[in-house]
């Protein structure tokens, strides 16, 4: 398996290991270095997206714990706000572009053209508003369970996009494609990514932080919305783009939080 020689002397590590560092680069703005990465490194990064998402969720859990004395709403806003800062709002950007493209494009060519447009239209603005409000409201509703929900959902919501990478073709034009090496993930990367989510879910159950029904229900919700996304993406353009993957992560995260809130919640 090919590797790239990094400026920090770690380039001789195998790609399956360098993929962890590459995954941090993919999902966050944390300056971990390690460049240049080979195509194999980027491909392996897909296997660790749920792991990096779990680490991000743990950090956001800490933000919640530090700010919750100011109120549940404040803690929820802070957690969502810090997530936007660390990720560079990349998933939200993908959601907005996807909503504009699927909402305003009537042909495959028009959908792909709108995806390249950096401007946000009415569909994108509406989608962003709804998802941001929903995430804040659901975290507030979950209350003391929110820190655990942040850890679990931020990791598991990144699994669906990995499955989409391995099962649908990448349709972005070669001249503007930014994610082609990453979306080349195959069965091995999918298996590793799935393993991370199952391990985290099992650990939370063993710690009595969540129960099995809650974990299974949340995962089922994420799987359902991702399958719907896959159907729509395939029907509209014949595959996936980087923006579509970001949108899938966002709707998965919202679906999981909503499921946990319904299962955990009772009458207000």
* Spans of all domains in the chain: 49-264
Q: Percent of the chain scored above 70 by pLDDT? A: 92
Separation CA 197–CA 159 (nearest Å): 8
What is the distance of C-alpha 86 from the center of its chain? 13
SS3 240: strand
Q: Give yes or no for residue 125 having a pLDDT over 70.
A: yes
Q: Are 204 and 195 in contact (CB under 8 A)?
A: no
Of 48-57, 170-179, 252-261, minimum mean pLDDT range = 170-179
Encoding tokens for residue 236? Answer: 């509209």
Q: Give yes or no for residue 97 having a pLDDT over 50.
A: yes
CA distances, 40 to each of 94, 121, 160, 184, 227 (Å):
24, 36, 21, 9, 27
Q: Give yes or no for residue 200 having a pLDDT over 70.
A: yes
What is the distance of C-alpha 264 from the center of its chain? 23
Q: Give yes or no for residue 153 having a pLDDT over 80.
A: yes
Angle CA 44–62–95, to nearest 5: 50
Crossing angle (nearest 10°) for helices 242-264 and 212-237: 150
Nearest residue to 260 via CA among 146, 177, 115: 146
Q: Give yes or no for residue 3 having a pLDDT over 70.
A: no
What pLDDT, on a 0 to 100 scale, did the predictor assign at position 251? 97
CA distances, 190 to each of 55, 79, 162, 164, 251 (Å):
19, 28, 6, 10, 20
What pLDDT, on a 0 to 100 scale, did the predictor assign at position 33? 85
Q: Are 129 and 69 in contact (CB under 8 A)?
A: no
Q: What average pLDDT does this structure show over 223-242? A: 96
What pLDDT, on a 0 to 100 scale, did the predictor assign at position 118? 85
What pLDDT, on a 0 to 100 scale, did the predictor assign at position 173? 75
What is the distance of C-alpha 216 from the center of its chain? 18
Q: Give yes or no for residue 9 having a pLDDT over 80.
A: no
The predicted model scores a pTM of: 0.92
Nearest residue to 124 via CA among 243, 255, 249: 243
SS3 170: strand
Q: What is the DSSP string of 90-134?
A: HHHHHHHHHHHHHHH-SSHHHHHHHHH--S--HHHHHHHHHHHHH
Q: What average pLDDT does this structure show over 177-183? A: 70
What pLDDT, on a 0 to 100 scale, did the predictor assign at position 268? 53
Q: Are 25 and 32 in contact (CB under 8 A)?
A: yes
What pLDDT, on a 0 to 100 scale, did the predictor assign at position 264? 85
Work out the mean pLDDT of the chain and round it to a whole number. Answer: 91
Separation CA 110–CA 125 (nearest Å): 19
Q: What average pLDDT does this structure show over 178-195? A: 87
Q: Residue 209: exposed, middle, or buried by beta-carbon count in 10 A (0-12, 13-18, 19+)?
A: middle
Nearest residue to 29 via CA among 116, 99, 89: 89
Q: Give yes or no for residue 215 having a pLDDT over 90.
A: yes
């Amino acid at each position: 398996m090919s590797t790239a020689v990094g400026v920090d002397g770690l380039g001789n590590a195998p790609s399956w290991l360098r993929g962890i560092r590459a995954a941090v680069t993919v999902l966050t703005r944390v300056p971990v270095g390690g460049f240049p990465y080979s195509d194999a490194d980027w491909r392996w990064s897909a296997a660790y997206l749920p792991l990096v998402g779990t680490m991000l969720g743990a950090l956001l859990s800490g933000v919640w714990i530090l700010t919750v004395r100011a109120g549940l709403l404040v803690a929820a806003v802070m957690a969502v706000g810090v997530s936007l800062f660390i990720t560079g709002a990349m998933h939200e950007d993908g959601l907005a572009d996807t909503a504009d493209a699927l909402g305003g494009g009537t042909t495959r060519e028009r959908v792909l053209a709108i995806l390249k447009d950096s401007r946000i239209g009415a569909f994108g603005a509406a989608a962003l508003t709804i998802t941001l409000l929903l995430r804040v409201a659901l975290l507030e509703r979950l209350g003391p369970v929110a820190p655990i929900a942040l850890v679990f959902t931020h990791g598991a919501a990144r699994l669906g996009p990995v499955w989409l990478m391995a099962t649908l073709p990448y349709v972005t034009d070669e001249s503007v494609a930014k994610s082609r090496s990453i979306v080349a993930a195959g069965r091995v990367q999918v298996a590793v990514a799935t393993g991370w989510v199952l391990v985290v879910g099992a650990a939370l159950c063993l710690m009595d932080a969540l129960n099995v029904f809650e974990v299974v229900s949340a995962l089922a919700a994420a799987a359902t919305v991702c399958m719907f996304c896959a159907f729509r993406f395939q029907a509209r353009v014949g595959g996936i783009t980087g923006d579509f993957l970001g949108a899938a992560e966002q709707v998965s995260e919202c679906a999981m939080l909503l499921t946990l809130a319904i299962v955990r919640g009772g009458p207000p």
